[in-house]
Amino acid sequence: MIESWRWYGPFDKITLPEIAQTGATGIVTALHEIPYGEVWPTDRIAARKAEIQAAGFDWVVVESLPIHERIKRGEGDLSQLFANYRQSMANLAANGIHTICYNFMPLIDWTRTDLDAPVARGGTCLRFSAPKMAAFELHMLGRQAAEADYPEDVRKDAAVWFQQSTEQDRETLLHSIMSGLPGAYDRYDIAGLKRALHGYDGIDRATLRANYRRFLEEVIPAAEDLGMRFCVHPDDPPRDLLGLPRIVSDANGIAFALEAVPARSNGLTLCAGSLGANPANDVPGIARRFADRIHFAHLRNVRKDPDGSFEEAAHLEGDTDMVALIDALLAEERRRTAEGRADAVIPFRPDHGHELLSDIGRGTHPGYPLIGRLRGLAELRGVAAALSASHGAAQARA
C-alpha cells in the first residue's frame, strides 16, 4: 500500500517538509483555487506536480476534481461543463496523474456539527451530533419537512439545544457545517443556503441517480481512453441531509455507481469512516465485495451513538475492525500482483485525525492536523507491516 497524505497546497498550514517527516511518500491534493467547472490548465498542474516532486513526493491521487452543481442537478445545457471536465482529466493524464477521487454529494461535502469535540484523554475530534443537525434544519433553516427525517427523541433534544443556544453557538454550528467544503468557493450563510437548496427542488433520489449515471457515461469512456482510475467517495455522513438525497451511502449505492458504467476505471474510494458511520454497513465486507474496483482508500474510524450521532475515533479504536479492513486490502493487492496488474498497489491515506499536542490552536483544515494524522499513519503502518509479515510467514510454512 502506498502511504499518502492529503495536502491542501497554498491553503495548507502544514508544509511539505513537515509531511516528509511522517514517512508518507505520496501526496493527495487538488487545485482547490480553481472554481468548479473550469478547466485545470496543464501548466498549473505541472507547476503543482513539480513543487510536490521537489519535496520528494509523488502526486498519487487527485482529491478532488469537483463536479459542478449544475451537473448534479441536471440543469440546462451541460455540454461545456462535461467537455471542461474531460479536458481537465486529459491535462492530468498528460502530467502522469491517473487517479481521481470525487464525490456526488449534492451541494455540501462532508458534514460535521462540531470541529473540536473533546476527546477523553485530551485533544479534540470532529463530531456529528444528530440533535444539533436537527436543530440546524428545523430551527435555523426552518425546514419543517425535516420533522420526518429525525426521530422524536432527537427532535426534542434539538429543541432544547436551540432554546439554550446563543447567537455565537448558532454561528459556530453554521461554520462547522460549512467547513467540509474543500475549496475556496461556495460557503453559505443561512439565506444563501436556503437559496441554494431551492435549486434542488423536485430532485429526488431517482433523479439524482439518473444525473449521476449521465455524468459517468460522459466521463468514464474518457477515463478508459486515458488510462485513468476514477473512484467515487461515499457520502459523509451516509444519510440524507437538508432534504437532499445521498445515493452512495451503502453497498447498494456503491453497486449502482459501479454497475452504471461497468468498466474497471469506474471504481471506489473505500472510505472506512464515511461507510462506518452507517450502523448497517460492514466495512471490511464491503471492501471484500468491491475489492477489484477499489482504487484508493481513506482509513479512519468512527464511534457511533444510538441516536445517529458519531465522532471520529482514533484509527484503531472505533467501531470498524481496521485490522480486518487492511487485511482485505492487502489480500486484494496480492491478487492483483499475481495477475500482473499495473494498479496492484493501492494508495491510502490516514483520514481525519484528532487534534493533539501542538495541533491545537494551529488552525489547520478541520480533521487534517499534523500530529493526529501522524499517529494514525503510524498505527496503520504497524497493522499493515504485521499482517504482511504474518502472511509471509504463513507462505513460508506452506
391 is catalytic: no
Architecture, CATH, for domain 2-110+197-397 = Alpha-Beta Barrel (3.20)
185 is catalytic: no
Separation CA 302–CA 272 (nearest Å): 9
Note the pLDDT tens digit of each residue in 101-138.
999 999 888 999 999 999 999 999 999 999 999 999 99
How many Cα atoms sit within 13 Å of 186 on the Cβ side? 21
- State the cell numbers at 104: 456526488
Contact 296, 333 (CB under 8 A): no
Q: Which of 68, 98, 233, 354 is catalytic?
A: 233
Q: Which of 85, 351, 354, 359 is catalytic?
A: 351
The helices-and-strands tally (H runs, E runs) of the chain is 14, 12
Note the pLDDT tens digit of each residue in 212-257.
999 999 999 999 999 999 999 999 999 999 999 999 999 999 999 9
Q: Which of 98, 298, 315, 354 is catalytic?
A: 298
Note the pLDDT tens digit of each residue in 134-173.
999 999 999 999 999 999 999 999 999 999 999 999 999 9
The beta-carbon contacts of 357-362 under 8 Å, at least 24 apart in sequence, are 357/123, 359/123, 360/123, 360/124, 362/13
271 is catalytic: yes
Separation CA 398–CA 394 (nearest Å): 6
User: 5 forms bridges with which residues in the sheet?
Assistant: 27
For the chain, what are the domain ranges?
Answer: 2-110+197-397, 114-191
354 is catalytic: no
- State the cell numbers at 92: 492530468
198 is catalytic: no
Q: What torsion, rounded to 10 degrees, do the Cα atoms 372, 376, 377, 379 define?
A: 140
Q: Which of 271, 295, 315, 354 is catalytic?
A: 271
Q: Which of 32, 315, 352, 354 is catalytic?
A: 352
